[in-house]
Structure 1
Amino acid sequence: MTSVDKSAPATAVALANPWALVPPLGNLDAYITAVNRLPLLTPEEEQRYARQLREDDNLEAAGRLVLSHLRLVVSVSRQYLGYGLPHGDLIQEGNVGLMKAVKRFDPNQGVRLVSYALHWIKAEIHEYILKNWRLVKVATTKAQRKLFFNLRSMKQGFKVEDATDDITHRDALTAAQVDVVAHALSVKPEEVREMETRLSGGDVLLDPTPADGDGEHAFGPIAWLSDDRHEPTAMLESAERDRLATDGIAGALKSLDERSRRIVTERWLNVNDDGSGGMTLHELAAEYGVSAERIRQIEVAAMKKMKTALAEYA
């Protein structure tokens, strides 16, 4: 590793070895200060490094492209601090998006890397926020994602407009405001209302944590969940299944001839929980002196006859 003269100007150091300006350890403020000191690339330098990466797989050129745009990630990540997630994590995810953009950047398209990378940086940050903002994912479709990242700011805009009318206490969107949001984001009004409901709620633990040091649990929403085991309809259905599994199967077997009944019993009823224990088609074929295909045909016919008998029994 080449040594760097600490007395040299920051710009000269960056040109010689840009990595020297990014501290390996330290707090977030030190990192942001360091990346803001990294020099920007001229269009000609950007084109040269992009071609070196694309044509020669030059990792040093990729590093210079990434380093010169780290300040862009810091700037974009600040726009998402309102979601309550660590700024360092937002920057880290944005850096992942930046590296993806550098890898896919085509210098022949006639656009600057900053314009191309902006999409990838935001995409990675968006994905991180959606996965970590709540325990339960609140946005999955394209329309829901647009609403998730725009609805709160648009509601704030409505509140500012309404401040002159002294109705800033209102939190829910009016029907007219819902239509405005839906038209602006090209989504349906019902999707706006649904996302507003999702954003207004929060995560609630069904099973609460102990309320004290004695291990006693606090009262939680799980106490309100119903027990379906004693619901009348479920109990009747369970009793009917049990009746068909015992008396019904026994009656259906009696409708078969002796050979068919034994084949069905050996193939389906004398089987252990792990799937072992029943006789194979070839074993039954050897016992009855016929082909395995003939045993299979008898089995299929017997099963159809049993289904008819079970339907009549039910």
Structure 2
Amino acid sequence: MFLPPKRSLAVLAVPLVSLLAAPAAATPVPSHAAVRTAMRTAVHAAPRVATLVDVRASHHPGLDRVVFEFRGPLPARRGAGYVSRLIADGSGRTVPVAGDAILGLRFGGAVGHDNKGRPTYGPTRETFALPGVIQVVNAGDFEAGLTFGIGLSRKASYRVYTLTHPSRVVVDVKTPYRTVPVRTYFLDSRAYAAGRRPYTAAVSRPVIPPSTARGALQRLFAGPTQAEHAKGLRFVASAATGVRSVVVRDGVAHVRLTGSLRSGGSAFTVADEITPTLKRLPGIRWVKIYDASGRTERPKGHSDSVPESLEP
């Protein structure tokens, strides 16, 4: 066994009295200026969260542009990619989005509400009358993360980049296809309230030929734009959740809807929007609307028809 030399023990033998007698070092009290400086340093060191203040979209030559504007810094993390469906943060439920393709977006280190939980930007679901972009839908504002889905008329290449002063995330979606204008009919709530016919008003929408009937109904189910909504236009869904199929044969458009259709006792239903929308298209003279089970009152012949569930 190894033992240290005895002289090392003498070195370690410090009298206890000398330790107790040593005066305690004085702890300096920080000045007010030093405290303020430390607080400012802590605030600047804490990560800042981007706050979404606006979502807008517009068409430019060859592309549709969606802009997410933030107050403060840019979101710390940004991701984009096509998804088969849009999932709500937290609940995991599917969020409906109008369009044949959904471009999903995720912003980390960002919020869309203030300290009282109030939204800091416009509607969480907004429709646009653009060739490619149909809707922009929020699917989550959860734990400093924002999730969005952009509903598109067709899957296309895209580019995501950032701009500053102010902070913006920009999404450019290519539109390398031809569109034609169609007329889509919504309920005119002001005319309906006044009992003044017609109860519908038409707006123009771009759709990709040759599937103009399907494209027109896709735009109908997306609803009115913000400007159109401000004028009193509304989409009455009658509990329909979408269009499963549209088949035009011998002048008759056969439209099969999804969802639990019901009129709710109203004399105005989704059929009153679908029928004039389709009858303005070439080659369609009659419209037959079917429920999710494929039922309609007059399935045969040259006539209009609705399922019994849409009767008042």
TM-score (norm 2): 0.22
The structure with the largest helix share of the pair is 1
Greater RCO (Cα-Cα under 8 Å, separation 6 or more): 2
Larger radius of gyration: 1
